[in-house]
Amino acid sequence: MNAGSARVRAVAAALGRAARPLAAAALCALLAAALPARVAQASDAAFDRLAARFLDEWLERRPHVATRLGLHRWDGRLRVVTPQSVASDLAWLRGI
């Protein structure tokens, strides 16, 4: 093997190593594009349910925020902030 072909092989090997992340990203994109639409729709529906649940429960726990947002369902239910109410909120967040 001469010095020129060794250099070409070294460059080709370096390019191959550099191209691996790009190839992996392309493969991931192809796989993601191949997912059936109903899987994506089910994921979207699950996220929508989680988001709605979170917002309803968050605003119930923070009626002053709801009022500032123009949502008056929880008017008149201000909560006193105590160590117990903070602990309750933390437990709720961990359960989401």
Length of the chain: 96
What is the structure's pLDDT at 83? Answer: 93
Structure token digits, residue 68 = 């500032």
According to the model, what pLDDT value does residue 3 have? Answer: 58
CA atoms within 13 Å, Cβ hemisphere of 69: 13
How many of the other CB atoms lie within 10 Å of CB of 17?
9
Output the tens digit of pLDDT for each of the chain's 96 residues. 555 556 556 545 554 555 556 555 655 666 666 666 666 677 788 889 999 998 888 888 888 888 888 888 888 887 788 899 889 989 988 988
